[in-house]
């Protein structure tokens, strides 16, 4: 698996499907890999699911937190997991959240 350090994206491809970077390196343990971008509510549910499976993960809220105070549904969040948990995380995501 290759890894784009700019996007934190693991990919089978030689180029990053997101930013088009071609100087990808091998993904390695400890690389935080992008799993999904979801509405904050769903992101938190996925985070809970991952934690129940003992998968460490990072939830990164997108956009302004000031806006989120008024409209939580307007906020998105991204979920990242270390590369060694990437396959498990993608499987869990597909099982529970096939809304991508």
Q: Find the binder of Zn ion among 1, 2, 15, 21 (CB under 5 A).
A: 21
For 67, the 3-state DSSP assignment is helix
Neighbour-count burial for 51-86, b at 16+ CB within 10 Å, e otherwise: eeeebebeeeeeeeeeebeeeeeebbbbbbbbbebb
Q: Find the binder of Zn ion among 3, 8, 16, 85 (CB under 5 A).
A: 16
When asked if residue 10 is in the footprint of Zn ion (CB under 5 A), the reply is no
Sole window of 3-11, 28-36, 39-47, 85-93 interacting with Zn ion (rule: CB under 5 A):
3-11
Q: Are 23 and 7 in contact (CB under 8 A)?
A: no
When asked if residue 25 is in the footprint of Zn ion (CB under 5 A), the reply is no
Size of the site for Zn ion (CB under 5 A): 7
Q: Binding residues for Zn ion, per CB under 5 A?
A: 4, 6-7, 16, 18-19, 21
């Amino acid at each position: 698996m290759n890894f784009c350090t700019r996007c934190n994206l693991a990919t089978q491809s030689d180029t990053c499907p997101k930013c088009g970077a071609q100087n990808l390196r091998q993904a390695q343990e400890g690389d935080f890999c992008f799993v999904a971008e979801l509405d904050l509510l769903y992101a938190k549910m996925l985070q809970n699911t991952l934690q129940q499976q003992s998968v460490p993960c990072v939830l990164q809220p997108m956009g302004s937190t000031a806006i989120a105070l008024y409209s939580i549904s307007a906020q998105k969040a991204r979920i990242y997991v270390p590369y060694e948990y990437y396959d498990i995380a993608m499987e869990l995501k597909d099982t529970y959240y096939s809304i991508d």
